[in-house]
Structure formats: C-alpha cells, structure tokens
Structure 1
C-alpha cells in the first residue's frame, strides 16, 4: 500500500513537471512565431532536437533494443496522425493567444470519445455523451466573440480544433499499439517520422532565422522532448486515472506565461469555457476508470 502511494506520488510529480515543460514548449513556439517561423520549421526543430534526447533516454533506461518492431505500418499511421495534429496545433499557436489554443487543445478527450465509438466500436453510454456535449459547449464559449476580448482568428480556431482531433486520433492508435509495443518504441518512431517528414519539407518551407530565434526554438525542442519522456515516465509510475487530471494545470501555466510575456489574460469566455472543458475531461476520465474497475471486478479468477 505504501509502495502504491509512493509510486502515485512519483507519477504525479513526473506529470506536473511534464505539464510545465509542455507549457514552456508552447510559449517558446509562440514567441518564435512572431519572427514568422512556420509550423513545419517548428516541427523540424522539435523533432531534431528531441530525437537525440529520446535516444539517450532509451540508452540509459529501457535499452535501445526496444525500437525493434513488427508493426511498422501501425507506427507510420500513428506518426502521420500525430504529425498532422502537431502541425495544426502549431498553426493555432501562430494565430491564437497561448491560453486560448491551450484550452481548445484540451477538447481532445471529447473527440477521443467520439472516435472510440466510431472507429473502435466502443459502447459509449449516456453519461459520457453528456460529458461530450458539455465539452463542446465549453469550446463554443471559448471561440465565441465577446467576453472581454477580441474575436479569435477563425482559421486559428479551426487549426486548434484539428490539432485536438489529431491528439484524439493518437490516443486511439496508441490504445491499439499499446498491447504489443513499449512506450519508448512508440515515442522513438514518432520522433524519427517527424524528423524525416519535416526535414524533407524544409527546403520548401524553411528560412534562415536570427540566432535568438533558433535559440528559442531549441528551448522549445528540449522542453518538448523532456515533456514527452516525463509523461511516459508518469504513466509507468502511476495509473492514467491518477495522473491525467494534472494535465489541466497546463491551462494555468499557459495563462501565466501569456500574461508574463505578452501581457494577455484569459477572457471571461475562455475561463468559462475552460471550466466546462475541464469538467467534461475529468468526468470522462472518471467514467473510464470506473468502467475498468467494474470490468476487473467482474473478471473470474484463473483456475
């Protein structure tokens, strides 16, 4: 019992630091966007900086041997979905305030519920559909003009929503991959795919930048890789239901960094919408956890 408690605390600590790193990455990319850095350039720097860090983590941790896989096609599909989602999120960061794009991004569990019903044919009950409706209401409030702020860029909103759909798609594919693949394997091939695809696109979308712009993007790359590793470590230390609620702290950190660097504060719409989105996400996570407990309890013991 004490060991479980210690593991949970360790998992929560890893998750909280991961959330801070994700917020730093987003803020750094937002800063770089003011120098007209494109989403492709952001992805290239994030993946090329992050890949050596991931390799180093594998060498000192689970071992580089885990990158062997018998499911390359599944990794390719997961990577393509993840890349599309990240590019849309970066485009949202270019066009929207930091707090707003972060808040919209947390609609991903809503889309994951819908995709799990459509693709995995999972049975979704009335409680979870109600949470989906609350989440969509929260998104609608965030993107609606008014509430003490200027109207948001429509393309930016669409990009941020597509980023959330991409994150939801990744959640679904990782569920399918997780049965046979190690977390480190999934992370490694994702970074490799991002580096190859964005590298191939750089001759068309890349430009020479000022040294300080590259420095900021490198900070984003280091923070993104650290966040990915810490998130994986949190899931190894504690159950998803224990650590996932702490993800929403990223909204707080994004708001704080937005105020610190751009003197922007979340509008009333953003705060109200964030409340509904967080409620929907936490309720969905609770229902998922409860369903798993019931399933385990109903499973007969092995003879």
Structure 2
C-alpha cells in the first residue's frame, strides 16, 4: 500500500508539472526555457538531498559519455512532452505518453531482434487502434494540431528508446545517478538555447518555472521511492491515474473538455499497456534476479523523460 500510495502521489506531481507547463506556455514561456528549468532545478535538489543523507558518493561514475548520450535522447523526449502539453489538451497528451510500451515492443522485435509473443503483438495492435481513434486522421487539423500529435507520439518513441539506454546504464550505475546525470547534461544542452529563446518574465512566471522544476523532481523521487517498496508490475499500473488528473486540470484550469475520441481511444491504449505489463511480469519470473533488478532500474529512470 505504501508503494501504491507513493506512485499515486508521483502521478499527481507529474500531472501537475504538465499543467504548469501548459499554464506557463500560455503566458509566453518557450519550450526551451521550460526544459531548462525542469532539468536545472533537479540538479541541486538531488545533489542536496544526497549530501544531507550522506549518499553523495552514489553519483560517482566512469561513464559520463554514456550518461551524456542518454541525456541527449532523453532531453529530446522531454522537448516532445513539453510541446505536446503546450499544444494538446492535457488528457490527449497524457494518453499519447502511454504509447511508450507499445514502441518498446516494436523496438524489441524489429531492432533488438528478441522474440515477441502473440500477447504483446496483440497489445501493440490494440494500442495503435486507440491512437487512431484519438488522433482521428479524418478530423479537421484545428481539432488537434498535427505538431502536437507528432510531439506526443514522438515522446512515446523516445521514451521507449531511452529505456534501452537505461538498461545498459543500470548494469553499472545507481538509478539515482542516472536521474542526476540526465538532469545535469540535459540542463547544459537546454542552456545553449536560452540566448535565443529566453526572455524576461514577471515574478509570477518565474515562480511557475520553478514550480515546473520542483514538481518534476518530486515526481521522480516519489517514483524511485515507490519502487523501493513494491514490485514494478504492481506500481506501474498506477501510472494510468495520471489521466484522471490531466482531465481534471484540463477542465478546471483551462476550461477544456476532453475530446469525445479520448473516451474511446484511451481505454484501448490503457488496456494495451496493462497487457504488456502483465506479460512482462510473467516473463520476469523466468529471468535471473539481476535482470529483474535491471528492469526496476529502467522503470525508475524512464519517467523523468516525460
């Protein structure tokens, strides 16, 4: 119950972060600024927390180059997520983020060349049917901007790719180190764009940007804590509660009613994710404890990209 509670709180923080991103975007803040502050705020918060608890040595690494490569991919995914949050209704952007497991299955089958059974293929087909229902290719462009849809699906692809990079890093690195170096290098990459996209803001806008960074970091810390107290297959199911918060924020803060297609497409995508989660749980019982730990590390480290 503690693990489930922590994961539920993490989804509240993550949904709040995207609500703040959308709010800041409507106030004239660029995506580059928001990515920078999301990453930059995490660096002192994580480092300070580890310092106070005497665990700063956990950040030691001999693989800075690999962390930088992972941060490059992950920061691109964060740009996609921020763009989707700014351009799409919050429930739609959140639901498209649930496609990451579908793309992970495709990468496993087509790139890694590992065997994928009928259950996971069924989930992929089911999930992409849900995507088609939500995006409605025959709908007018103004209903859902194509750039926003591309960003939402692009985020799903990139998060899936990042999961394979984390699988490699998790063999030698602490999960919290993966999160820290992702934020460190990601903030450096985003800082390059600040001279072109940064601008002066009112004090309340700066508070919004700080809140984006704090809520995103808290979400990651809660995700990590949840996985210390519960199994991956148990807690990851709670991620779908983010859709409840996204819908609530969309209606109460922005006055956006979810498009009717979300009520038909979202259940298909969520069902697909649940099938994949169940199947991975079954398969994890057939692998070594070390591999199982790697999978937990992946779950801890993928969501910061969102």
Shift of the alpha carbon at 1:59? 2.2
The superposition leaves residues 77-100 of structure 1 with CA deviations (integer Å, 9 ceiling, x where unpaired) of 211111000001111122111111
Structure 1: gaps spanning 5 or more residues: 1-8, 298-303
1:107-126 mapped onto 2 (5 Å cutoff): 107-126=99-118
- Structure ID, larger Rg: 1
Q: 2:18 aligns with which of 26, 37, 46?
A: 26
Task: Please tell me whether residue 187 in structure 1 is matched to residue 187 in structure 2.
Answer: no
Task: Please tell me whether residue 261 in structure 1 is matched to residue 253 in structure 2.
Answer: yes
- The equivalent residue for 1:87 is 79
1:234-253 mapped onto 2 (5 Å cutoff): 234-253=226-245
Task: Please tell me whether residue 131 in structure 1 is matched to residue 131 in structure 2.
Answer: no
Distance 1:254 1:142 in 2: 15
Q: 1:197 aligns with which of 189, 192, 202?
A: 189
Distance 1:78 1:122 in 2: 22
- The equivalent residue for 2:6 is 14
Q: Which runs of 4+ in 1 moved over 4 A?
A: none
Distance 1:14 1:260 in 2: 24
Cα RMSD (Å) of the superposition? 2.0
The superposition leaves residues 172-203 of structure 1 with CA deviations (integer Å, 9 ceiling, x where unpaired) of 21122112111111011001011111112211
- The equivalent residue for 1:41 is 33
TM-score, normalization by structure 2: 0.90
- The equivalent residue for 1:301 is none
Secondary structure at the counterpart of residue 173 of structure 2: coil
Secondary structure at the counterpart of residue 116 of structure 2: coil
Structure 2: gaps spanning 5 or more residues: 290-306
Secondary structure at the counterpart of residue 151 of structure 1: coil
Distance 1:59 1:119 in 2: 40
Distance 1:99 1:117 in 2: 29
Tell me the matched-pair count: 289
Distance 1:15 1:96 in 2: 25
Distance 1:251 1:150 in 2: 23
Secondary structure at the counterpart of residue 208 of structure 1: coil
- Structure 2 CA distance for partners of 1:296 and 1:198, relative to 1, 3 Å: closer
Distance 1:236 1:79 in 2: 24
- Structure 2 CA distance for partners of 1:172 and 1:62, relative to 1, 3 Å: farther
